[in-house]
Structure formats: C-alpha cells, structure tokens
Structure 1
Amino acid sequence: MTTEKATAKTPRQIWMALLAKADPARLVALFPDLPMHEVIRSPEVGAVMVRGRIGGTAAPFNLGEMTVTRATVRLADGTVGHAYVQGRDRAHCARAAVLDALLQTAAEPDLRRTVLDVLATEVVATRQARAEKAAATKVDFFTLVRGEDA
C-alpha cells in the first residue's frame, strides 16, 4: 500500500482554485451578469483548521484557523455549483459557485476562454513578476583568492 497522494488535479479542481483565488473585482469584470439560479446554501462565513508540515514531509500539525465563506447554488437545468473562498466576501463566493455550476454545462468552452484562461494568464504574469523582483535582490557570495592562499 502506498502513502503517496495523487498530484494530478482534475479540471474542476483547477477552475475552482482559480475562481477562489481570483480578485473579486476582476471576477466581476470578467463575468458581470449572473444567470438565474437557486441558492441552496447561501454564502456563510465559518472557519477551517489549517494544517502544516515542517519541510513538507514531517508529521502534520494544527497551524491555526482561517476564515472561509462557502456557498452552493443550482442552475435552472439542475446543475449544482459549490465554492469556498478565503475571507468573508459573500458576493465573491456566490459568483464563484455560479461559475462552478456553469463550467459543468455546455457553456464551459466559452467560459474557459473568457474567464479561466484570462485568470490563469494573470496568475502566471503575477508569479513571474514576483520571481523577477526576488531575483533582482539575489546576492551571490563568492570567495576571493587571498594572497596567503596563493
């Protein structure tokens, strides 16, 4: 029996992460009009325990609690969407839940192009800018040959 977890993510896991981490204002700009939907679980704020591992491989420990908001919606065709977002932004959570439901329908290719691909491109650009900024502060240490060592 193996203790390794599968690292491959499903398309839904990827889009749910993008929607949850997206800037709420950017999500509104990319998808301003929500279709008709039924609220199954209105956005509610709660807390989850965050666990950590020293070095990524040691025994897990409770790091602390984090505030999250969750919501569940149903589209007119019966498709259900869920969302969990960090923080207390109920509108962001509701929008992400509706998008999760829509991405499970025939609207997925269009939404992937107009929302998900744009968000993913922005994430890559942000990471690259952060990496370039960090690289600019990198210090290379080297040893000069001293006279008595020659």
Structure 2
Amino acid sequence: MGEEKKVIVFALGSEEYGVEVEKVRTIERMQPMTRVPKAPEFIKGVINLRGVVIPIIDLRARFGLELKEYTDATRIIIVSAGEFEVGLIVDTANDVIDIDSDHIDNPPEVVGGIRAKYLDGIARVGDSRLLVLLNLEQVLDRQEIQQLERAEQ
C-alpha cells in the first residue's frame, strides 16, 4: 500500500478529474464575473470572493473541449496555483475520495484531447473507474500567471 491522497472529484462532460484537497480552498456556485480586457479566451474574468480578487478559468475552454451552458450544477473550484488563487469552472464537483498512490499511473500523452502536461496521473478507483488527476501548475503557465497578476493590480 502506498500513501493515501485525498482528492476532490469533479466532472467535465463524462470525464472525471481530481485535484488534491490541500490545493482546494473552497467550492463556489457560479456568480457574476468581471471580464478582463486582453485576457486569453479561457480566462472568463475575475470575481471578488470575500475581499480577494480571483481570476476564473473555464477548464473546458482551457483544455480545448466543447463549451456548454452553465447550469445550477456548475461550480467554481478555488485552488492555490503556486503563490496565488484561481477559480476553475467545472460542470460538477461531486465527491471527495481517498486514492492509494500505488493506484496512480503516469498519464498517456493525450487523454480525451487533453495534453499530458496538464495531468499528474491517472488514478484507478475501484474496478472500472478512472480519474484524471490535474497538475495545477501546468494548467496555467508562468506567462499566464504573470498576466493574471498584472490584471489583478
């Protein structure tokens, strides 16, 4: 048995993803956003969450997946990415589970159209469930982080 990782499970379409609980600050319902001029298309804007301005990224747009309307189930997962917080728009945020690190494999080059650089691994949960684990530092590259930090000021 390897060490246990606790992850928040969320969905984009029919695919399930996970992000480590210790990187998640909070999960919020959708709320109005202020658009940031000249930001990349996947950056939907910023929100003011309890006095902190947080940039919001639509993960579907970031990963090049088909965009869809936001629903009552749509959530914003506020995560720590390096030294700042960012919100990730996901279709649903379902679950918190423990994963044995022995059940995490290296990601293939492309999973569901998403490049491996965005992924930490693929977790086998039970007999038939696979969970794609995100590498948050790669979801935003350094240049985009600096652009967001400038936009916040």
TM-score w.r.t. length of structure 1 = 0.25
Structure with higher Rg: it is 1
Q: Relative to total residues, which structure has the larger strand share, 1 or 2?
A: 2
Q: Relative to total residues, which structure has the larger helix share, 1 or 2?
A: 1
Which fold has the larger relative contact order, with Cα–Cα distance below 8 Å and residues 6 or more apart in sequence? 2
